[in-house]
A = this chain, B = another copy of it.
Amino acid sequence: MDPNPIGFQKHDHSHCVADAVAEADRTCQKAGLQLTPVRKRALEILLEEHRALGAYDVLARLAEDGFGSQPPVAYRALDFLTKNGFAHKIERLNAFIACAHPGDIHTPAFLICTTCDAVAEAETDPSHSLLNQIADTTGFRISRAVLEAEGTCPNCLANDQAKDPK
């Protein structure tokens, strides 16, 4: 199991955490949002993994660092991050992941590997997404979409074939 799969590819990870936090800092400055210590730490915690973390996982790490140890501490931080586009909730997993493309308004699609637990965030073309088609034909006005696919990532697919090459 690859501990480091972003979009299922390897990369220099120590940089990307720091970079993402720095960018979040800037974005919050501009938008008048407060990236407070708990919130920043929560974002770091999410960024340290390329998989989804449960709220209680995040909470435990926050508590280790001297922050509050009760559920609302984590839920509030995660709420801030998701509301402002720095993180997403993966509904299928009841878990949270840092946004891979923060800043832009986007409708992400997630690819969840059930073998290695990696989660990749894919961009969708908002103009001809299938949900918009549905919305157009039914007259339903979409405010938020959940697009999540479970399956096997390319890495795990390759591993499977290596072991069992039929």
User: Pick the contact of A142 from B125, B138, B139, B150 — CB < 8 Å?
Assistant: B150
Cβ contact of A149, chosen from B114, B142, B150, B153, cutoff 8 A: B142
Query: How many of chain A's residues have a CB under 8 angstroms from any CB in B?
Result: 36
Interface segment among A10-18, A67-75, A98-106, A127-135: the answer is A127-135
Q: In the complex this chain forms, how many copies of it are found?
A: 2
Question: A141 and B148: CB pair below 8 A?
Answer: no
Check: A122 CB closer than 8 A to any chain B CB: yes
| Interface flag for A92 (CB, 8 Å) | yes
Q: Does A45 contact B (CB under 8 A)?
A: no
CA distance A139 to B151 in the complex (A): 11
Contacts of A147 in B (CB 8 A): 130-131, 145-147
